[in-house]
Structure 1
Amino acid sequence: GKRCFELRHCRYLGLAKTRLQHVAIAAAMNLTRLVHWWTGISQSQTRISRFAALAPSTSPEII
């Protein structure tokens, strides 16, 4: 995501060049996801936020 494709900082000044960089990076991310899907490489596990970790279990108990 943002860390792998250097989306935290833009190398260009100006809205047009910045937009072009973001569109190119989005295309590269989609291409990477497509290649991983074709080759069977699974996506990495997403992290659980501290707030979500406090939530009770999602399986409802019927009383």
Structure 2
Amino acid sequence: MKKAPGIRQARYRGMPKVRLQHAFFATAINVIRLDAHWTDSPLRPTRASRLEHLAYQLTA
């Protein structure tokens, strides 16, 4: 979720506003994750390790 725009830098000054912004971002990310879980669609494809690539090449 680091690639979400604006997640790394706060838009506002002052701790109460920044905390509220972080709470909104966390809620939004959790809703996105719940939707992906309920629809059985992964957020992104899983990566295969180098060992898996090597095993695939040796069996092909």
After TM superposition, is the score higher than 0.5? Answer: yes
* Separation (CA, whole Å) in 2 of partners of 1:24 and 1:5: 13
**Which structure 2 residues correspond to residues 6-21 of structure 1 after superposition, within 5 A?**
6-21=6-21
| TM-score normalised per structure 1 | 0.64
Name whichever structure is richer in helix by fraction: 2
Structure 1: gaps (5+ residues): 54-63
Q: What is the root-mean-square deviation in Å for CA atoms of aligned residues? A: 2.1
Deviation at 1:42, TM superposition (A): 1.1
TM-score, normalised via structure 2 length = 0.67
Structure 2, unmatched stretches of 5+, are 51-60
Match of 2:3 in 1: 3
* Greater RCO, CA 8 A, separation 6+: 1
* Equivalenced residues, count: 48
Q: CA separation in 1, counterparts of 2:5 and 2:38?
A: 20
Kindly provide the amino acid, as one letter, of the partner of residue 2 in structure 2: K
